[in-house]
Amino acid sequence: MKLTSDPITLKDIAIALNLSVATVSKAVRDSHEISDITKKRVNDYAQKHNYRPNLMAQMLRHKNGRSIGVIIGAIPNNFFSDVLSGMESVTHQKNYHIIITQSLESVEREEKNLEHLTWRSVDGLLVSLSSETKSIDHFKKVHASGIPIVFYDRVTDEIKTHQVVSDNIGGTYLGTMHLISNQYTRIAHITSSKELSITSERLEGYAKALKEQGIPINQDYIKYCNHGGKDLDEIETAIDELLRMKQRPDAIITASDRITIGALAILKKKKIVIPGQLAIVGYSNFSAPEIFQPELTTIRQPAYEIGRAAAELLIKLIENKRLPSKFEKRILPTELMIRDSSRAKRKK
Amino acid sequence: MKLTSDPITLKDIAIALNLSVATVSKAVRDSHEISDITKKRVNDYAQKHNYRPNLMAQMLRHKNGRSIGVIIGAIPNNFFSDVLSGMESVTHQKNYHIIITQSLESVEREEKNLEHLTWRSVDGLLVSLSSETKSIDHFKKVHASGIPIVFYDRVTDEIKTHQVVSDNIGGTYLGTMHLISNQYTRIAHITSSKELSITSERLEGYAKALKEQGIPINQDYIKYCNHGGKDLDEIETAIDELLRMKQRPDAIITASDRITIGALAILKKKKIVIPGQLAIVGYSNFSAPEIFQPELTTIRQPAYEIGRAAAELLIKLIENKRLPSKFEKRILPTELMIRDSSRAKRKK
DNA sequence: TTGAAAGCGGTACCAT
DNA sequence: ATGGTACCGCTTTCAA
């Protein structure tokens, strides 16, 4: 009897039962070429001694580590943490695990993370591009080397693969239409960096609504945060510029959790009355936006479901050796939740 | 020249350079027993062909996978996501990676996660107990088998190892004292499940302040959420009971992000005026509590630093074969941020 | 200074 | 139905 509780191996079982390692290996995996009686002996013994196949040995053989690399902006961000939670729920169930890395909106970290993840020989990658990312050559290289990737949230068309996004066009369209129907006409948009897919999509929804309602688009009403609002200054500058305009906007649509919360804090500091002086509609995944001051009208993305869908598609890609004939772009619906911060301007 | 970009191995290098695998292995690791000239040849070749040692093979040999298992309550929780972010920052830098599992406050999941993580043969564990956890035998077993553990946030003394916590006693003490000095005397406390270390510590700070000020402790003012406020009902029940008392409390201290936010939402729904009818001081790690309605007085935990400290201690434990002579209980300071929700009762 | 060989824990092919 | 053996990629004696 051993004192240390070192994990037991196939060899241990083989010796104990006077069998060969090969036989034991097959028995534990319930191979048809092993007699029931032997299987039972082996499995009973394995059970009793708590045998667990050594993952690393298995990985070394098959090159499948059942692990998935994730690149996200930042963990402490309502949207991303919900996405992660969704991913975790499917990987957990399918016996994969996720290795999480944060880009913190920097290309440099994104590249380092990518390198780290490939070194870990992940079986696949779930990627949301950082706001700084312009060229995606580093991803192209990895993808070309045979590692499947699914892009979510901030995606790119330059690599042919699955994508999972929320209906950014629709979300912003609805938000803009809602503001217009509440008599707001000078609607500004504070958004992330120009390069991101989400930025142009959200812009598209915004432009579409304005155009439909015959409101001209004022480029000065559109403000980009090139670092996604990583620091408040970026947002504050945008707001200052908007407030200084002669034709000051009467409403703002903010394009991410961070920007939304940052903008609210800044406007509060500046004692701007919402929605009296300025209405707000913001993308946000905060769990209880009704406790904000004022109650916030939000565009909510199905973050958890995005995480789930992305993970499911990736695992499918990993487990089917044959490439799918067609790649999906899955668009999940956004939801406009109307609250006080965009209340109708004039009582009828 | 190969077409596929399969990773290159030691053997490939050995063949190309007409050396033995053993020599190449030593050369890439800069062993003293290899001549400089050979080292240069090998490393140049390795460099050029982008050689990366196969992690799984290394793991199989050493039993050190440079991976750390984390058990947390839930990723989408401000406190935990900040903790994770801190952990990630140190593991990233030390070339470890974290495997994250969520207990979702269930013992059952906690046990499954633990099993999963040991199967992944993590080198160590960072654990915060679930609110349901009463017995910690499953952790004892794993710890006894030689896997180092560092507990953070919700800790236990039943296993002798490092602990990292915030100053829960001090935080609640300060919060309570603050309320008392603002003329509140009937102070309630809505907290997590009885078994948790954080619960008893927070209670201790609360009791200490009351006692110091000569205010008797009313057990009916203390409400436990056995599932940590996982669903709002739990919190709503607690609040209902408090509001129904003849001697209704005039202030509440809420003991976690979830409970705090839940309580605010419920009180808002019930149209209870804060702090007029009820003052609130809440544990919270939300980034901008000043945009809550009303501005919330918070007790803020150094979540990021807790994550960092826990990860650092664990890695030390992993890398030093010898057990430390003494285990640390590191207590990080909490911070009381006074805002409107606990404004002084009577103007002087 | 270099290399042959054993082994980490499994898997899979081919005999028996 | 069972077992011998080679091998996955790397490390580590031990000889040469």
- DSSP letter string, B217-254: P-GGGEEE-TTTTSSHHHHHHHHHHHHHSTT--SEEEE
With pLDDT > 90 as the criterion, what percentage of chain B qualifies? 78
If you search the block for the tokens 């999940």, which residue do you land on? A332
Chain A nearest C-alpha distance from B211 (Å): 33
B263 close to B280: Cβ distance less than 8 angstroms: yes
Q: Which CATH number does the domain B1-51 belong to among 3.90.230.10, 3.40.50.300, 1.10.260.40, 3.90.180.10?
A: 1.10.260.40
Work out the average pLDDT over A229-234.
87
Q: Is the pLDDT reported for residue B296 higher than 70?
A: yes
pLDDT in tens, B45-79: 999 998 989 988 998 998 888 899 999 999 999 99
pLDDT on residue A346: 63
Give the pLDDT band of residue B346 (cuts 50, 70, 90).
Answer: low
Q: Picking from A72-81, B3-12, B161-170, which range would have the lowest pLDDT averaged per residue?
A: B3-12
Name the DSSP letter for residue A147: -
With pLDDT > 70 as the criterion, what percentage of chain B qualifies? 97
Give the pLDDT band of residue B293 (cuts 50, 70, 90).
Answer: confident
State the number of CA atoms in the 13 A half-sphere of A196 facing the CB. Answer: 29
Burial environment of residue B77 by CB neighbours within 10 A (0 to 12, 13 to 18, 19 or more): buried
Chain B nearest C-alpha distance from A7 (Å): 9
Q: Which CATH architecture has domain A168-301+335-342?
A: 3-Layer(aba) Sandwich (3.40)
A147 close to A115: Cβ distance less than 8 angstroms: no
Q: Is the pLDDT reported for residue A210 higher than 60?
A: yes
Name the DSSP letter for residue A316: H
B343 close to B279: Cβ distance less than 8 angstroms: yes
B47 φψ region: left (φ > 0), alpha (ψ -120 to 50), beta (else): alpha
d(CA A257, CA A191): 11
pLDDT on residue A5: 56
d(CA A195, CA A105): 12
Facing A265 at nearest CB: one of B82, B84, B288 = B288
Residue-averaged pLDDT of chain B: 92
pLDDT on residue A311: 97
d(CA B10, CA B8): 7
Facing B60 at nearest CB: one of A52, A60, A74 = A60
> Which residues of A are less than 8 Å from B60 in CB distance?
54, 56-57, 60
pLDDT on residue B1: 33
CA of residue B50 to C1' of nucleotide D9, angstroms = 16
Give the pLDDT band of residue A66 (cuts 50, 70, 90).
Answer: confident
Distance of CA A287 to the CA centre of its chain: 17
Chain A nearest C-alpha distance from B328 (Å): 26
If you search the block for the tokens 């650092």, which residue do you land on? B312
d(CA A174, CA A336): 7
pLDDT on residue B124: 94
pLDDT in tens, B180-201: 999 999 999 999 999 899 999 9
Work out the average pLDDT over A182-191.
96
Q: Picking from A97-101, A263-267, A277-281, which range would have the lowest pLDDT averaged per residue?
A: A97-101
Supply A92's token pair: 């957990």
H-helix segments, chain B: 10-17, 21-28, 36-48, 55-62, 78-93, 107-119, 137-144, 168-181, 197-212, 232-244, 257-269, 303-319
Closest CA to A116 of A92, A138, A86: A138
> Which nucleotide is nearest, taking the CA of residue A13 and each C1'?
C9
> Which residues of B are less than 8 Å from A88 in CB distance?
75, 100-102
Topology alike, domains B55-166+305-332 and B168-301+335-342: yes
Supply A189's token pair: 């948009």
> Which residues of A are less than 8 Å from B59 in CB distance?
56, 59
pLDDT on residue B149: 96
With pLDDT > 70 as the criterion, what percentage of chain A qualifies? 97
Compute and round to an integer the Cα radius of gyration of chain B: 26
pLDDT in tens, A32-42: 999 999 999 99
Strands A279-283 and A97-102: unpaired
Give the pLDDT band of residue B5 (cuts 50, 70, 90).
Answer: low
Q: Which nucleotides of C are covered by protein (CB under 7 A)?
A: 1-5, 7-13
Q: Is the pLDDT reported for residue B17 higher than 90?
A: yes
Facing B292 at nearest CB: one of A59, A65, A293 = A293
Domain definitions of chain B by residue range: 1-51, 55-166+305-332, 168-301+335-342
pLDDT on residue B62: 86
d(CA A185, CA A213): 10
Read out DSSP for B21-38? HHHHHHHHTT-TTS-HHH
Give the pLDDT band of residue A2 (cuts 50, 70, 90).
Answer: very low
> Which nucleotide is nearest, taking the CA of residue A62 and each C1'?
D8
Residue-averaged pLDDT of chain A: 92
Question: For testing the chain A interface, which of B5, B54, B56 should be mutated: the one with the most A CBs within 10 Å?
Answer: B56
Facing A85 at nearest CB: one of B76, B288, B294 = B76
Sequence-ordered list of residues with C-beta below 8 angstroms from that of A172, at least 6 positions apart, any chain: A189, A201, A202, A203, A204, A205, A206, A209, A253, A255, A299
Beta bridge partners of A330: A164
Most confident listed range (A69-73, A101-105, B145-149): A69-73
* Chains A, B: CB pairs < 8 Å: 121
Work out the average pLDDT over B147-152.
96
In CATH terms, the fold of domain A55-166+305-332 is Rossmann fold (3.40.50)
Supply A232's token pair: 């408040």
pLDDT in tens, A278-313: 999 999 999 889 899 889 999 999 999 999 999 999
pLDDT on residue A83: 97
pTM, full prediction = 0.89
User: Nearest residue to nucleotide C11 when comparing alpha carbons to its C1'?
Assistant: A61
